[in-house]
Chain A
Amino acid sequence: MAELSFREAIAAAIAQEMARDPMVYFIGEDVGAAGGVFKATVGLFERFGPERVRDTPISEQAIIGAAMGAAMTGLRPVAEIMFSDFLATCWDMVANQVAKTRYMTDGQVSLPLVIRTANGGGTRFGAQHSQSLENWGMSVPGLKVVAPSTPADAMGLLAAAIRDPDPVLFFEQKSLYGVKGEVPEGEHVDRLGSAKVLRSGKDCTIVALAAMVPRALRAAEKLEDLDIDATAVDVRSLVPLDTRTILGEIVKTGRLFTVEENPRLCGWGAEIASIAADECFDDLDGPIVRITTPHVPLPAADVLEDVAMPSVERIIETVRKSMR
């Protein structure tokens, strides 16, 4: 095992796949010599050169369009959209073109491409650089949606996304970039569509994604002091969704809490709540409770942003009240 930061793990995954497969190319704004504005791709330009690691203009439609045209014709591109908020400027490419072309052409076209993007809040950037948009991707048929929470998962799931024959939206939560963790030595490839049970309890199941995972885990640990024994599940991948693992854990505890960074309406947890209500209603011992950011644009000031996003304390308090 080696200790890597989340951002180093991202670079390691791209390097691993570029070294393995000469058809893997990487494009985006400031990704070349600059190494990315979040320094998540440092060293790739030096190692693989300006043809395979290529700077683009600030042209998000051109970035995704070019990646799509290349993916249709033999390359396996990784395209970076600097902030996930900028997906709004190229959502036609993502939602109408990348997601639908395989289906509309009845499989004549394959689109093995990864769109990496820095996602989420906690950095005081304000409402246009802090959104948690994984549920946008989840709502469009034809896109796989992945959001890791640890350096090991970042590396393994990104490698799996690059090898996947279908388009993957890969969300990297910005506040996680500096987090360090153990990553397996040598080649590391994980599996899309597999959730991870991080902690097993008997009283309730807390399901979380990306930066909400460490918060859910800390909350679960502290809930022990209140005699609440909580399971914590890292969803890791929204599409494909590992409902088997998630429902399995809900059934064991009889209670479900979701912890979502996205604003309230149509967050990913609503889909999981709906599936749970539909498929394991008889196993539930109480209401399903969603813990989310309120339905507001995320404010910039630290005190406001911290209160808006689900915190360890809010998770504990919500679970405690609901379990009383």
Chain B
Amino acid sequence: MSTQVQKPQAADVDRPTRLRLYQLMVELRDFEQRAYELFLENLVRGTSHLALGQEAISAGYAVAMRADDYTFCTYRGHGHTLARGASMAAAMAELLGRGNGMLHGKGGSMHLTDVKHGAMGSYAIVGAHLPIAAGAAWSAQVRKSGQVSVCFFGDGTTNIGAFHEALNLAVIWKLPVVFVCENNQYMEYTPIRSVTAVEHPAADRAAAYGLQPILIDGNDADVMYEAARHTIGKAREGGGPSLVEALTYRHGGHSRADPAKYRPDAEVREWLDRDPVKRYRERLLAAGIAEAEVNEIDTRAQQKVDAATEEARKGAPARVDEIERQVWSDGGAAWRN
């Protein structure tokens, strides 16, 4: 059995929404590009997992979400966190290990979180955040808050137990949660198809949980936005969870250590042609939006990233007294009297 990629639904996305989708995608693209440049300058320590090429998924969902909805994402989570409205400067400073970082240097690239904006965390153990996102949805359900929990994860996650435990629980409790698989074709360095029993790792398993298979073009912001509206709306109205598989591609390697030489050149070229940002720009122009207006968005995004970088670089190193802060709710780390 194999699921067919679903064609875009009637993409009657209005003009302000389209401009917002484009703006977000460009900002996320420029941020990730800048993060990469800062690695090359050796300013970003540790590791980092860029989502270059996957911007349409973050943008499509973020634009469709209510301000108090919850986002749960993975270590490849810069885009999802920023898309909810988190401070770009604070995110950049966190990558640089500065005291003005979003987490004061205690989380780093893989754990960006901004609860005020509904970005409930970036989780670095594959699969862990699916049950946690279900738990937030359970809380929303019993509090009758109308909030929806959206959980983004990679294709590799579909082969770990927590994926299946979370889906089963979400279905039996009819939780307001949307699971979005970003199938970027590779689990770390290995093609996902070579290690998975089905062709479409998420969509082909939906039926096992009584869910409709949803297999869509993750590089098309209109398609992602429509899918987001549909699945979030269903969850908010009490219709229970959805499982979405969005087909996409990492422009770079798994992490900073990975030059991604294992990918065939033709495959890379094919996907670069389907770059979600470039494609959407062309669509806006074809729809009659003035090139100057689109250029203005590009310029402002660059300026925003420049300003964020400058502010981040001005930050002092993370403060040493942070080490023993915030283990506990009293703000400290005491384990004895």
Task: Please list the residues of chain A having a beta carbon within 8 angstroms of any beta carbon in chain B.
Answer: 25, 51, 54, 56-57, 59, 61-62, 64-75, 77, 92-93, 96-97, 101-110, 112, 141-142, 165-166, 193, 239-244, 275
Which of these binds chain A: B122-130, B215-223, B264-272?
B122-130
B interface residues (Cβ-Cβ under 8 A, vs A): 70, 72, 103-104, 106-107, 111, 113-116, 120-121, 123, 125, 127-140, 142-143, 147, 149, 161-162, 165-166, 168-169, 172-173, 322, 325-329, 331, 333-337
Closest residue of chain A to B163 (Cβ to Cβ) is A61
A69 to chain B: which residues have CB within 8 Å? 72, 131-139, 149
Cross-chain contact of A243 among B166, B173, B333, B337 (Cβ < 8 A): B337
**Shortest distance between the CB of A146 and any CB in chain B (Å):** 13
Query: Is A243 touching B336 in the complex (CB atoms < 8 A)?
Result: yes
CB contact under 8 A between A59 and B329, given known A105-B107, A105-B121, A193-B337: no
11 CB contacts below 8 A, A to B, read A54-B173, A65-B128, A69-B133, A69-B149, A70-B138, A70-B139, A75-B142, A75-B143, A104-B107, A106-B322, A243-B337
Interface centre among A51, A70, A71, A102 (most CB of B within 10 A): A70
Given the complex of chains A and B, what is the CA–CA distance between A72 and B133 in angstroms? 10
Compute how far the CA of A165 lies from the CA of B107 in the bound complex, rounded to whole angstroms.
21
**What number of residue pairs across chains A and B have CB atoms under 8 A from each other?**
162
Residues of A within 8 A of B149 (CB): 69
Residues of chain B contacted by A74 (CB below 8 angstroms): 139, 143
Known: A65-B135, A77-B135, A105-B115. 8 other contacts (CB 8 A): A62-B162, A65-B132, A70-B139, A74-B143, A92-B162, A93-B128, A97-B129, A102-B328
Neighbour of A59 across the interface among B70, B165, B331, CB < 8 A: B165
Question: Complex Cα distance A72/B327, Å?
Answer: 15
Q: Which residues of A contact B130 (CB under 8 A)?
A: 65
- Write out the residue numbers on chain A whose beta carbons fall within 8 Å of the beta carbon of B127: 61
User: When the two chains form the complex, which single residue of B113, B128, B325, B336 contacts A97, counting CB atoms closer than 8 Å?
Assistant: B128
A108 pairs with B136, CB closer than 8 A: no
Contact assessment for A109 and B337 in the assembled complex, using a CB-CB cutoff below 8 Å: no
Q: Which residues of A contact B72 (CB under 8 A)?
A: 69
Distance in angstroms between the alpha carbons of A101 and B329 in the assembled complex? 12
Tell me the complex Cα distance, A243–B337, Å: 6
Please list the 6 inter-chain residue pairs (A to B) with the smallest Cβ-Cβ separation, ordered nearest first.
A69-B135, A65-B131, A165-B329, A66-B135, A62-B165, A69-B136
Given A65-B130, A69-B131, residue A110 in contact with residue B137 (CB < 8 A): no
B166 and A106: CB pair below 8 A? Answer: no
Among B106, B134, B169, B325: residue with most chain A CB under 10 A: B169
Q: How far is the CB of B247 from chain A (nearest CB, A)?
A: 27
A75, B129: Cα distance in complex, Å? 17
Q: In the bound complex, what is the Cα–Cα distance between A104 and B135 (angstroms)?
A: 19
Decide: B168 and A107 in contact? CB cutoff 8 A.
no
Q: Is the CB of A104 within 8 A of B106?
A: yes
Complex partner residue of A141 from B104, B138, B327, B336, CB under 8 angstroms? B327
Chain B residues closer than 8 Å to A61, beta-carbon distance: 127-128, 131, 161-162, 165-166
Partner of B168, one of A59, A77, A242: A59
> Which residue in B140, B327, B335, B336 is a CB contact (below 8 Å) of A103?
B327
A68 touches B132 (CB 8 A): yes
Closest to B94 in A: A106
Q: What separation, in Å, do the CA atoms of A166 and B149 have in the docked complex?
A: 23
Q: How far is the CB of A246 from chain B (nearest CB, A)?
A: 9
Residues of A within 8 Å of B128, CB to CB, are 61, 65, 92-93, 96-97
How far is the CB of B238 from the nearest CB of chain A, in Å? 14
A52 → B minimal CB distance (Å): 8
Question: A165 to chain B: which residues have CB within 8 Å?
Answer: 328-329
- Which one of B121, B133, B169 lies within 8 Å of A56 (CB-CB)? B169
